Amino acid sequence: MACTSKGHGPRPSLHARFVWGFLLPGIWENETFPKRHNAALRSLATHYGFGFNEQHGWNGTAMSGMIGNYRCRIWFETVRRRSRRNRSQTYMHSTITLNNPRQLGLEISPQGFLSEGIRLPDSMTGNQDITIGHPEFDGKYRIKGYDENAVRAFLTPEKVQAILQLQNGLGPLQRLSITDQEVAVRFPGLMADMQMVGNSTSSLAWLAQQIDA
């Protein structure tokens, strides 16, 4: 049973204090959020030994550096939405640059309503979607490339399994994408949980090794 003193509730455990140190509570006032979010980002950069850009302005590189042998960049993208209210949406990205880039024209991205919205059938639009003969993978991702047979040869069972393994460890709204040059995750908005960002970024570096193999 947690110890209490008169007029005070239970003292938080060390684990709870650690977790809340990484989380940005939603009750923070709007004017203090950027300052506190930057402090959390700076802590993440320090953890990885990354350089931190204080002037990222929520629309550019926030930090960059190396994870093992791989170049990493964590950055923000602010997208203006076409609406009467002229609203914008800011996304956080983590990107790992591959050491052995290809020339396949490769693009792997999630497909389905949550990722693509309402779409006409590919047979009507002519939108490319290469199938590789793996039902789960084919169902999760839209795959593009210059030469379909070359893309199929590149996506070995080991690479496919590694991609699915990482995907299963991501949150439902974290968008994984893969090209000839990089592997990346787009987070749903400004992430408050820096521990999740760090875990996903480390997993991306692992995936880059599998794809480079």
Give one DSSP letter per residue of 14-25, joined into a string.
HHHHHHHHH---
Unique residue bearing structure tokens 């393994």: 165
Unique residue bearing structure tokens 């076409």: 82
Cβ burial, residue 126 (10 Å; 0-12/13-18/19+): exposed
Asked if residues 75 and 61 have their Cβ atoms less than 8 Å apart, the reply is: yes
Helix/strand/coil for 84: coil
- Regions of the chain with pLDDT less than 70: 1-31, 82-86, 112-128
pLDDT at 3: 45
pLDDT at 83: 61
pLDDT at 45: 97
Domain boundaries, the chain: 50-212
pLDDT at 86: 62
How confident is the model over 73-96, as pLDDT tens digits?
999 999 877 666 667 889 999 999
- Bridge partners of residue 145, in order along the sequence: none
